[in-house]
Amino acid sequence: MENTFPSLPHKEVLSSPNKRLRFSQRKPWTRLLIKLSGLSILLLAWGLITGLGYVVPAQLPGPLATLQTMTHMLQDGSLVLHAASSLKRVFSGFLVAFAIALPLGLMLGSSRLLRDAINPVLELLRPIPPLAFISLAILWLGIDEWSKISIIIYGSFFPLLLNITGGISQVEPVHIRAAQSLGARKLQIFCHVTLRAAIPNMMIGIRSGMGMAFICLVGSELIAANEGLGFLIQEGRYMFKTDQVLVGMITIGIIGYFINLVITTLEKILLRWK
């Protein structure tokens, strides 16, 4: 019988996997270019606005002038000193907030009765801005480091607590019953089912809490600070050094970006089972 089927394009079929392979190899570079394109547009717009004279340098220095100031501060070590001081305060405040929020969130997420009793207090305190407590922090703790760190603790605490509580309370009951039917004990269910299911919410809380820590940083360093990125910004504002203000802001953004990158990488490792 004569074969009526058309011949297959062998060369095209053989070459298509190679094309797909080359495309998959280029994909990370493509994503990197897309990310850099947004930053490039921002820098270009910044350079055009300042270069064409739409604003005076005292109001907004150009990218090159800001880069020169940052380079000078890196060379004399002052920027590193300010960044290290701010990072110490941020991590101290965040870790204390996490140490308080984790056990409290686990208890609130596991007990509906406790959650109903504590929620009104949390909802009363949560809308109060952290900077509103600056006066009380000075009155209660003086002007040393803990008065600054306490503002960061307060700002980081609520995103951590709410997300930990939500993650624990929203675990699917069918998963718990399935573990019980297999003979798992309460501690095993809590460690291997409840905590594991709550990790995505916990990671969201960690990212939000770290973001709030940096937001509170500038305000907390208003309390008699003589070093730190918030102090650097405030000093630049008082002395009309707009380039110094921008250097402090950019440094906070860069540090925050890399900390978020570390957290998202950790999240991918912990949630590789998803």
User: Contact at 8 Å (CB) between 198 and 206?
Assistant: no
The pLDDT of residue 84? 95
24 pLDDT higher than 80: no
Tell me the C-alpha distance between 226 and 235, whole Å. Answer: 9
| DSSP SS3 for 93 | helix
165, 105 Cβ separation under 8 angstroms: yes
- Specify the pLDDT at position 29: 75
As a whole number of angstroms, the distance between CA 58 and CA 60 comes to: 6
Q: 239 φ, ψ to 5°?
A: -100, 10
Contact 99, 274 (CB under 8 A): no
What is the C-alpha separation between 206 and 105, in angstroms, rounded?
13
At 172 the pLDDT is 81
Per the model's pLDDT, the better-predicted residue between 100 and 24 turns out to be 100
Question: Which residue bears the tokens 């309370």?
Answer: 169
Q: Look at residue 11 in the predicted model and tell me its pLDDT.
A: 45
Q: Which two tokens stand for residue 250?
A: 């950019």
Which range is least confidently modeled, 50-54, 197-201, 220-224, 240-244?
220-224
pLDDT value at 96 more than 80: yes
pLDDT higher than 70, residue 20: no
Band the pLDDT of 94: cuts 50, 70, 90: very high
Could you give the maximum distance between any two Cα atoms of the chain, in Å?
Answer: 99
**Lowest-confidence range among 48-57, 158-167, 259-268?**
48-57
In one letter, which amino acid is 47?
G
pLDDT for 194 equals 83
Q: Where are the domains of the chain?
A: 23-54, 63-270
Supply φ then ψ for residue 143, to 5 degrees.
-115, 20
How far is it, in rounded angstroms, from Cα 209 to Cα 258? 15
pLDDT tens digits along 49-85 = 888 888 888 889 999 999 999 999 999 999 999 999 9
pLDDT band at 25 (very low <50, low <70, confident <90, very high): low
CATH of domain 63-270: 1.10.3720.10
Say if residue 199's pLDDT is above 60.
yes
List all residues 6 or more positions away from 39 whose beta carbon is below 8 Å from its beta carbon.
Answer: none
- In terms of pTM, does the model score above 0.95? no
201 and 166 Cβ atoms separated by less than 8 Å? yes
**Burial of 154 per CB tally in 10 Å (0-12, 13-18, 19+):** buried
Angle between helices 112-125 and 145-169 (to 10 degrees): 140
